[in-house]
Structure 1
């Protein structure tokens, strides 16, 4: 479908332009339906039916989650529209404690009888599970908050922006890439709205409205003389924001060096223009020589290393071996935490969990078992001091209350321990990335996430980047290709020697972090400043040099 034809069709109404879905779930709906919320009084009535039914069947505790999950996808390639979809998934899940064990059931039939039957089934499941339990669930105390609400502080609801405007944006981005010599380009907008209502026998009735957005593209150029090609993805970060994320402010840009960087908002046009230049450079870039280098890692790259080597191994269920089949356990066993002396990294390394950071993917007011969210230290001055917990794990660490790390990706998924935003705190001394580079004799400056691997205990790993630039005697002298660094988590974080200040701090993140069986996905951000790591092993992944 060409631009002219598409814009004509969308002028007739959003429903006329519905195309098959790339990445959605639930039923297809119109934009107008997506913008119509469910009445809070109705949600409270449904929650009370479930809670009363659960208590009536003998539950010692019960909570209810009523979830309405909205997805919108707009996908384009070169001069045409590939996909547009609005979808909704809406239903109710009931979790109970009975006989010291958990039980869970869910339904998308929201009449009174169906809701009550789901609660009764959850109790029956819990009582059946209790027969297999060696010890009862220990649930941390949690006060009730009454009727409260929280909303992502969006300026523009992304679902309210007309689809033709979004298509025009993406096709204009594609046009910039084609003008810059790209052979292929695709661009996408992913938008999510989670309307979540939580109620429990503790006395909480919590209504939350959560928004996330992710603009992305991939640019490809081909060397016609030899048929080789290179690509570069957008350096955007998915964010917990509205459509205002795509209206950049000049004062928020970090300029200088080979890449324009964005503090809070994102310029898709500027990024795609630079991407066409970068892929041309990548076609001519020299292979990296294997060896030890000082690495200068931009937040657009470092977030993924934080996610894999810090975020996952400090999930308490992995530490305890409860989570093993999906991506492994953790080397950060309890005995290391108990010493209060385990050297995770250098004294420069301070890792903070924060469920409230504005603009982050994981920002919510309350988690999915009604715990008010906050922040805490995980690594303090290089020492492991804490993990990530939920209500039935808190007693293991001697905590009086949960840290608010419970999440379910749908109304029909049981909530369990998921990663909060886990971030590397900036340095205290004033330092820009440009000044950091000036002090590097032999190094590599890396941007953007790319391929990686890490072992089942989150210890030995390998990461590459979208862009890798050679630093020689304090100057960026050209681009490397096929550069990937290898290390283990403890060695790598102990090689951290310098961090830029808070003016350079930025968020990266992932829209779909997988965990559990049946698998669930969550969205989580990781902030950091540009950071220097000395003497890290770099290999060449494209030849025998590595």
Structure 2
């Protein structure tokens, strides 16, 4: 599990009082199925747009958001928490006198949103007195009245709590029967109902659904007190409850017998495997440090992509706008101009907001820009960054890439990471065929702890499961593995990528950025990939 995810989720079972404070007010389950009338939202948006223009704004956009979340949290045979939350309101962003201004309100009346618009204009005019350059906004033609909805088959909010609890408790029981001493499991469901309107002439109504089923299984050696855990191998997805249809689960059986999942997930099966693998960790030998060829499963690689490619290609980091919080980027503008070799010729990495099932899949971003796919790294060469409307001119672009996002109606939208993914290999290649050529390697499955420097250049990554590879054969499970990288050297060491039949998504609900901090949901896809000659360290800690 991502460190940030762990810190957020580890507190969720402590009581219902903390959750509404983080995610909105607590509501009854049936309220999760209600919506706001689009005609009423258009009426409110028009009131805000008119007030902003009358107050002197040259541009205005309005976001009316209703953010719904459900948490079902269990441990062993007990339900720890069931919480439903709602947060609803309006955010108004304007340009006046060449500067940005933003204000928000929970008052869903014409007078309320108009007052927020006037406040945003006043803030923009105040900002303009100290701003050294005027905002340059890339043109975005209005699209009129349109709607978009995540193409789900079964709305998870409609599934009775009883069914969800029964699923999680059966998962916990299956893990315990398979040898687990402790097990936590939960459902985290999200529905973002977002309405966007702008002076460009857009009225965009979107209904976004996401789901996650995190699980942690713990095995204990009662004689020594030693314990090991294995988190679930599910990925958070932009899907409905059909994701949990175990009978139809899309399964990827790895050469060592571990089952991973794609666009569907058999949670029961994974719980049983997790219990057995956590117990096997207790007796697995510790890795010998040294240079190894790494075979990285997509359930692991997503996090390496996120940290070492996704973040350093965000243009605001490249420009230094995030220097005081989450770091800048080694991938400076001169590198793109010079055709910087980021990776081997095997590697093409794309940004994509249109990929079905991904967390970042939407029709339009929070600036009203239609989403798209574009290359960041092409055949190993850095070719582009991730850009929004007020940055496009810096790269000589005439349009935004459609990757602007706010995590709430009360937060201002800004540049956020698109789904950033490693393209599958073009030649037919299975995982088994890839491993046949590895003489001395390690097969890594699942994401673990990590660290990375402020410029996204030096990093270290752990994982969930580690298997030794000797002379083309997987020999045994090992432990205490982490690998160290310098971003360009690591990606230039990529010697093979499996074909699209092995492609899967990983991701996070909690990609943090900004001040005040915001989180966004983002996926990263890949097929299994091989990296040669990577430095591996031993992370074991002595208790003596």
Structure 2 length as normaliser, TM-score? 0.95
Contact 1:156/1:244 (8 A) holds in 2: yes
Give the one of 383, 386, 389 matched to 1:388.
386
Tell me the matched-pair count. 526
Contact 2:138/2:389 (8 A) holds in 1: yes
Q: Pick closer, same or farther for the CA change 1:191–1:21 going to 2, 3 Å.
A: farther
Q: Distance in 1 between matches of 2:29 and 2:152?
A: 18
Is 2:478 the partner of 1:480?
yes
Contact 2:249/2:264 (8 A) holds in 1: no
Is 2:290 the partner of 1:287?
no
- SS of corresponding position for 2:39: helix
Q: Distance in 2 between matches of 1:178 and 1:297?
A: 29
Q: How far apart are residue 325 of structure 1 and its match?
A: 2.3
Q: Pick closer, same or farther for the CA change 1:258–1:327 going to 2, 3 Å.
A: farther
Match of 1:6 in 2: none
Q: Distance in 1 between matches of 2:16 and 2:366?
A: 33
Match of 1:82 in 2: 80
Contact 1:21/1:84 (8 A) holds in 2: no
Q: Distance in 2 between matches of 1:81 and 1:543?
A: 34
Give the one of 328, 350, 353 matched to 1:355.
353
Give matches, 1:217-228, under 5 Å: 217-228=215-226
Query: In the TM superposition, what whole-angstrom CA distance separates every residue of 1:32-71 from its partner, at most 9, and x where no partner exists?
Result: 1110111000000000000000000010000000000001
Q: How far apart are residue 22 of structure 1 and its match?
A: 4.2
Q: Distance in 2 between matches of 1:304 and 1:102?
A: 33
Give matches, 1:391-430, under 5 Å: 391-430=389-428
Contact 1:21/1:85 (8 A) holds in 2: no
Q: Distance in 2 between matches of 1:311 and 1:135?
A: 28
Q: Distance in 2 between matches of 1:158 and 1:513?
A: 23
Match of 2:310 in 1: 311
- SS of corresponding position for 2:292: strand
Q: How far apart are residue 261 of structure 1 and its match?
A: 1.7
Query: In the TM superposition, what whole-angstrom CA distance separates every residue of 1:141-168 from its partner, at most 9, and x where no partner exists?
Result: 1100000011100000010000010000
Match of 1:277 in 2: 276
Is 2:162 the partner of 1:164?
yes
Q: How far apart are residue 28 of structure 1 and its match?
A: 1.1
Query: In the TM superposition, what whole-angstrom CA distance separates every residue of 1:309-354 from its partner, at most 9, and x where no partner exists?
Result: 0000000000000112222110000110111x20100000100000
- SS of corresponding position for 2:305: helix
Contact 1:90/1:411 (8 A) holds in 2: yes
Match of 2:5 in 1: none
Match of 1:201 in 2: 199
Q: How far apart are residue 258 of structure 1 and its match?
A: 2.9
Is 2:445 the partner of 1:447?
yes
Q: Distance in 1 between matches of 2:341 and 2:379?
A: 9
Which stretch shows the higher mean deviation, 27-36 or 530-539?
A: 27-36
Give the one of 518, 521, 524 matched to 1:523.
521
- SS of corresponding position for 2:495: strand
Which stretch shows the higher mean deviation, 223-232 or 244-253?
A: 244-253
Match of 1:297 in 2: 296
Q: Distance in 2 between matches of 1:190 and 1:252?
A: 21
Q: How far apart are residue 475 of structure 1 and its match?
A: 0.9
Q: Distance in 2 between matches of 1:258 and 1:482?
A: 20
Give the one of 366, 375, 385 matched to 1:368.
366
Q: Distance in 1 between matches of 2:341 and 2:426?
A: 21
Contact 2:252/2:261 (8 A) holds in 1: yes
Give the one of 58, 61, 64 matched to 1:63.
61
Give matches, 1:243-258, under 5 Å: 243-249=241-247, 252-256=250-254, 257-258=256-257
Contact 1:34/1:159 (8 A) holds in 2: yes
Q: How far apart are residue 254 of structure 1 and its match?
A: 1.8
Contact 1:20/1:83 (8 A) holds in 2: no
- SS of corresponding position for 1:419: coil
CA RMSD of aligned residues (A): 1.2
Is 2:119 the partner of 1:124?
no
* Structure 1 spans left out of the alignment, 5+ residues: 1-17
Q: Distance in 2 between matches of 1:384 and 1:217?
A: 37
Q: Distance in 2 between matches of 1:420 and 1:405?
A: 6
Which stretch shows the higher mean deviation, 212-221 or 324-333?
A: 324-333
Match of 1:432 in 2: 430
Q: Distance in 2 between matches of 1:263 and 1:82?
A: 29
Q: Distance in 2 between matches of 1:348 and 1:51?
A: 49
Query: In the TM superposition, what whole-angstrom CA distance separates every residue of 1:441-493 from its partner, at most 9, and x where no partner exists?
Result: 11000011111000000000000100010011111111111010001100100
Query: In the TM superposition, what whole-angstrom CA distance separates every residue of 1:5-30 from its partner, at most 9, and x where no partner exists?
Result: xxxxxxxxxxxxx9545475211111
Contact 1:35/1:160 (8 A) holds in 2: yes
